[in-house]
Amino acid sequence: MLTTVLHAATKAGREISKIYRSEIGVEYKADLSPITKADRKGHAIIVDYLKRNTDIPILSEEGANIPYETRADWSEYWLIDPLDGTKEFINRNGEFTVNIALIRGGLPVLGVVYAPVKQWLYIGIEGEGAWRLELENHQLPADWNSVGNKLPLQHSNKGKYTIVGSRSHASKETDEYITKLEALHTNLDFISMGSSLKICLVAEGKADLYPRLAPTMEWDTAAGDAIARAAGCKVIQYGTGEPLRYNKENLLNPWFIVQR
């Protein structure tokens, strides 16, 4: 099943990269959020792979109109965002990802995040750990778990307290939260990053904290959440300290914190 997910993510990433280098084709949904040819292409590839190789139901950002009455009976399901960071894709800064997660009992137990331009592949499996690979030509090595780097890696900013934040979705509340942290940490560093790569940077050990005091949807976070948890990080609701839960009636996430 993991092999299926890895191939689905990398094949979708390859095709998304082709569109990234050509005509993006931007349209807008009813809520005025952007959607591109790459969102649709990635969705079609991943759904095809998962349907052909598993019997597990699928919830995707590009097919999120499944009634809660149907979803409520799912003991497990795939939760995917075929192109997380559409604004980063449109701006062509390379900071977008393909996200695939397996949700079981409302919690993410497997997650794959692939950044096609950077060719960074993150994998997280409950009870087994998390890894980071750097691919070439979107090819997955057969022995990925031996050539990949086990997370967390050594922190690259020793002596500094590093926060990672959104490049395209800053909020007043997040700015205020960071200001409070500046009073606690005299040697504070900040990294701007797009998409679920922010969560992965904490899992990797390159950042200590990612505060998200702004809206996200369940498909935005699930794969990164699985990776972070597998790497020993906490992904918790802001204000309560409870883990994020999935397959809620309302698919909007509460504010949350990812921390080492």
Do 141 and 182 fall within a single domain?
A: no
Mean of pLDDT over the chain: 92
CATH of the domain at 25: 3.30.540.10
Taking 3-state DSSP, the helix, strand and coil percentages for the chain, each rounded to the nearest 5, stand at: 35, 30, 35
pLDDT (tens digit per residue) in 53-107: 999 999 999 888 899 999 999 999 999 999 999 999 999 999 999 999 999 999 9
Q: Output the known binding site for substrate.
A: 61, 83-86, 220
Lay out the sheet containing 58-60: strands in order across.
58-60, 76-84, 97-104, 107-115, 120-125, 129-134, 149-150
Residue 109 — φ and ψ, nearest 5°? -110, -15
Cite the annotated binding site for Mg(2+) by residue number: 61, 81, 83-84, 220
Same domain, 8 and 114: yes
Residue numbering of the annotated binding site: 61, 81, 83-86, 220
134 and 197 in a single domain? The answer is: no
155 occurs within a structural domain = no
CA dihedral sign, ordered 191, 194, 198, 201: negative
CA 42 from centre of chain: 15
Per residue in 149-178, pLDDT (tens digit) is: 899 986 656 678 999 988 666 678 988 898
Given a contact cutoff of 8 angstroms between Cβ atoms, the answer to whether 130 and 122 are in contact is: yes
What's the pLDDT score for residue 144? 79
Q: Please indicate, yes or no, whether residues 165 and 40 belong to a single structural domain of this protein.
A: no
Q: What is the mean pLDDT of residues 214-228?
A: 97
pTM for the whole thing? 0.94
Does residue 149 contact residue 132 with C-beta atoms inside 8 Å?
A: yes
Above 80 in pLDDT, residue 50?
yes
Tell me the percentage of the chain whose pLDDT exceeds 90: 75
Q: Which residue has the higher pLDDT, 223 or 168?
A: 223
What tokens appear for 228 in the block? 């972070």
* Statement to judge: residues 143 and 168 lie in one domain: no
Mean pLDDT (whole number) for 36-41: 94
β partners of residue 162: 189
Q: What is the pLDDT of residue 33?
A: 83
Kindly report which listed range (10-24, 138-152, 196-210, 237-251) carries the lowest average pLDDT score. 138-152
**Mean pLDDT throughout 183-196?**
89
12 and 116, same domain (yes or no): yes
Rounded distance, CA 178 to CA 147, Å?
A: 36
144 with 175, same domain? no
In the numeric block, which tokens belong to residue 60?
A: 């995707």
Report the number of distinct structural domains present in the chain: 2
Spell out the alpha helix ranges (H) of 127-239. Answer: 144-147, 172-184, 197-204, 218-230
179 in a structural domain: yes
Q: Is pLDDT above 70 for 255? A: yes
Split at pLDDT 50, 70, 90, the class of 39 is very high
Report the distance separating Cα 28 and Cα 182, nearest Å. Answer: 38
Domain encompassing residue 68: 2-150
Q: Do 113 and 180 sit in the same domain of this protein?
A: no
- pLDDT value at 116 more than 80: yes
Arithmetic mean of pLDDT, 188-202: 94
Are residue 183 and residue 71 in the same domain, yes or no?
no
Indicate whether 189 pLDDT > 60.
yes
Final residue of a structural domain among 150, 178, 205: 150
> Burial of 34 by CB count in 10 Å (0-12 exposed, 13-18 middle, 19+ buried)?
middle
**In the predicted structure, residue 47 carries a pLDDT above the cut 70:** yes
Domain boundary among 100, 118, 150: 150
